[in-house]
Amino acid sequence: MDPALAAQMSEEVAEKVLKYRRDESGWKICREGNGVSVSWRPSMEFPGNLYRGEGIVNATPEKVWGCIKPLAGTLRDKWDENVSSFEIIESLTDMLCVSRTASSSAAMKLISPRDFVDLVLVKKYEDGTLSSNAINVEHPSCPPKPGYVRGFNHPCGCFCEPLPGEPDKTNLVTFFQTDLSGYLPRSVVDSFFPRSMAGFYANLEKAVRTLYD
């Protein structure tokens, strides 16, 4: 992938995801519990929803980031039940890459295995916040694979935010904006994401305890 084009494209995605983080308007809560809130609003990118999750994880930002970072060495496929494998297709810089993420079947196998090829940019902000920012791309080294439906991530990502005065806690804000493709009933998709995101936080909380002990 052309590095200059990838850099420009990824910065535009990061700007969008940062706007999602700053814009508090229009969100409707669809799931709350165990300190995690999941909300949604209609996507401006495709005929689906943009989902936002927020919750405090009882671990340092470094540990949380180690579990969720979309870079080589991530622990994501060790604990996230929605990620069966993660691989780097092309490293453009230390903070910019093309990745492939695969998921196993979900929702009692109503959702068959998916895979996603994304351009991913990692950013670090002055307050110590780490963010990942991703969007779907095509890559010659990663055509559609048998056994997987190719899904498409529209601008999405997360913010791993330090909490002032609480170094052993992290505020994690996540944004999912995914077209799962295929012929899935809208009701299946709309019920899957809030439940899946709540599970993501619960499993991450366990992972930061077990993977770093």
pLDDT at 182 over 90: no
Can you give the pLDDT at residue 3?
92
Token pair in block for residue 189:
């998709």
Strands 114-124 and 152-153: unpaired
pLDDT at 57 over 70: yes
* Dist CA 11 CA 20 (whole Å): 14
pTM: 0.95
Can you give the pLDDT at residue 28?
97
pLDDT one-digit tens code per residue, 101-114: 999 998 888 899 99
Contact 204, 79 (CB under 8 A): yes
Q: Where in the sequence is the domain holding 71, given as residue range(s)?
A: 3-211
CATH number of the domain bearing residue 69 = 3.30.530.20
Contact 143, 32 (CB under 8 A): no
* Dist CA 39 CA 51 (whole Å): 6
In the chain, the number of structural domains is 1
Can you give the pLDDT at residue 183?
86
Mean pLDDT of the chain: 94
Residue 98 CA to chain centroid, in angstroms?
Answer: 14
* Dist CA 116 CA 17 (whole Å): 18
Q: Grade residue 213 by pLDDT with cuts at 50, 70 and 90.
A: low
Residue among 66, 48, 49 at smallest CA distance from 57:
66
Residue among 89, 113, 119, 117 at smallest CA distance from 10:
119
pLDDT at 73 over 90: no
Can you give the pLDDT at residue 110?
84
